C-alpha cells in the first residue's frame, strides 16, 4: 500500500508540473502580438527570482564558495536553460500555434541521445536509430502541416524551426545538469541560474525598450499571465517535478512529460480558440512512439 501511495503522489506531482509547463506555450502564443519576447522573458524571470529569493537565500549562503568556483558552468547553464530556451519559445510563439510549440518541445530527449553519442561516445543502437527516425517524421509532419510534399517548397510556420532550436538548446542544458557539481544544492543551482539568466536578458530587454516607438501596456490579464509563468510555470513546476522524480524516478516522470501536448492543446482550445487537426494527432503519436522506442530499456527476464 505504501508503494502505491508513493506512486500515486509521484504521478500527481509529475502531472501537475507538466500541466503548468503547458501553460507557458499558451502564454507565448496568446500574448505574442502585445508584448515583445524579450520583455515577456525578462518579466517572467524577474517574478521567478523575486518570489524564489526568500526561500533560496539560506542555501545560496551555505553553497556560496562552491557557487563562486563554478560560475562559468552556472553561467552557461543559465544562458541555455533560462535566457535562450524560453526566449526562443516566445519568439516562436509569434508565428506558430501553442499546439505546435508543445509537440516540437517533445523532441529534446532525441537531441540528448544524439549529443551523448557525439560527445560522450554513447552507442546509438538500431532501436534508438529507428526511434529517432520516427520522431523526425513526426516533427516534419508538424512543420509541413501534414503535407510532407510542401517541405520541397519550404512551406511551414516560421516559428516551428525556432521551437526546434529551443528544444536543441534545452537538450544541451539538460546534459549540463547531469554534471552538476555535487557541492551545490539543487535549490542553489536553480536560483543562481534564474538570477544569472535574468542578468543576461537585461541588456537585450533594455536595448529593445529603447528601440520601441510605442510603450508596451501591461493589462491586468497580461500581468496575471506573467505571474503565472513566473510562479507556476517556473517555481511550482520545478518543485513538483523534483518531487515526482523523488517518488517515481526520472524515467517514469519523463513518460508523463509526453502528455505535454495534450494539456497545451486543451488550454489552447479553451483560451486561444485553436483547433486540433488530424496532422497534430498523427505527429504527436509519432513523436511519442519514437521517443518510447528510443529510450525504453529492455526488461530483464
What pLDDT, on a 0 to 100 scale, did the predictor assign at position 294? 63
Burial of 175 (0-12, 13-18, 19+ CB in 10 A): middle
Helix (H, G, I), strand (E, B) or coil at 259: coil
Q: Which three cell numbers stand for residue 163?
A: 521551437
What pLDDT, on a 0 to 100 scale, did the predictor assign at position 296? 62
Round the average pLDDT of the chain to a whole number and report it.
81
Please list the alpha-helical segments (H only) found in the chain. 2-30, 37-69, 71-78, 85-92, 98-105, 108-120, 126-143, 159-177, 186-211, 220-227, 237-248, 250-257, 260-271, 278-295
Q: Output the pTM of the full model.
A: 0.78
More confident site: 149 or 204: 204
Residue-wise pLDDT tens digits, 200-221: 999 999 999 998 877 788 889 8
Domain residue limits, the chain: 2-295
With CA atoms as reference, report the closest residue to 22 among 267, 291, 271: 267
Q: Is the pLDDT of residue 222 over 80?
A: yes
Identify the residue whose cell numbers are 509519432.
286
What pLDDT, on a 0 to 100 scale, did the predictor assign at position 197? 96
What pLDDT, on a 0 to 100 scale, did the predictor assign at position 254? 64
Residue-wise pLDDT tens digits, 48-100: 999 999 999 999 999 999 999 999 999 999 999 899 988 999 999 888 877 77
Long-range contacts of 111-115 (CB under 8 A, 24+ apart): 111/167, 111/168, 111/171, 111/172, 112/171, 112/174, 112/175, 113/294, 113/295, 115/171, 115/172, 115/175
Q: Rounding to the nearest 10 degrees, give the CA dihedral for residues 265, 269, 273, 278.
A: 60
Amino acid at each position: 500500500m505504501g508503494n502505491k501511495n508513493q506512486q500515486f503522489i509521484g504521478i500527481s506531482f509529475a502531472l501537475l508540473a507538466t500541466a503548468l509547463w503547458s501553460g507557458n506555450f499558451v502564454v507565448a502564443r496568446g500574448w505574442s502580438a502585445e508584448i515583445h519576447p524579450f520583455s515577456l522573458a525578462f518579466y517572467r524571470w524577474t517574478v521567478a527570482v523575486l518570489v524564489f529569493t526568500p526561500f533560496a537565500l539560506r542555501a545560496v549562503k551555505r553553497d556560496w564558495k562552491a557557487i563562486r568556483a563554478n560560475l562559468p558552468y552556472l553561467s552557461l547553464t543559465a544562458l541555455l536553460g533560462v535566457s535562450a530556451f524560453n526566449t526562443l519559445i516566445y519568439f516562436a510563439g509569434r508565428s506558430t500555434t501553442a499546439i505546435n510549440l508543445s509537440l516540437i518541445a517533445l523532441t529534446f530527449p532525441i537531441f540528448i541521445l544524439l549529443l551523448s553519442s557525439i560527445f560522450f561516445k554513447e552507442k546509438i543502437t538500431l532501436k534508438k536509430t529507428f526511434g529517432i527516425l520516427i520522431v523526425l517524421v513526426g516533427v516534419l509532419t508538424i512543420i509541413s502541416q501534414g503535407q510532407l510534399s510542401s517541405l520541397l517548397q519550404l512551406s511551414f510556420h516560421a516559428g516551428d524551426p525556432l521551437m526546434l532550436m529551443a528544444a536543441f538548446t534545452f537538450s544541451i542544458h539538460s546534459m549540463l545538469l547531469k554534471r552538476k557539481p555535487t557541492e551545490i544544492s539543487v535549490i542553489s543551482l536553480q536560483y543562481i541560474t534564474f538570477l544569472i539568466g535574468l542578468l543576461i536578458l537585461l541588456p537585450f530587454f533594455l536595448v529593445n525598450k529603447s528601440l520601441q516607438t510605442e510603450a508596451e501596456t501591461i493589462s491586468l490579464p497580461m500581468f496575471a499571465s506573467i505571474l503565472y509563468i513566473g510562479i507556476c510555470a517556473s517555481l511550482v513546476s520545478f518543485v513538483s517535478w523534483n518531487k515526482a522524480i523523488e517518488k517515481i524516478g526520472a524515467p517514469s516522470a519523463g513518460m508523463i512529460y509526453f502528455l505535454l501536448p495534450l494539456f497545451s492543446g486543451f488550454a489552447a482550445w479553451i483560451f486561444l480558440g485553436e483547433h486540433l487537426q488530424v496532422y497534430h494527432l498523427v505527429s504527436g503519436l509519432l513523436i511519442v512512439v519514437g521517443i518510447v522506442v528510443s529510450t525504453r530499456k529492455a526488461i530483464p527476464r
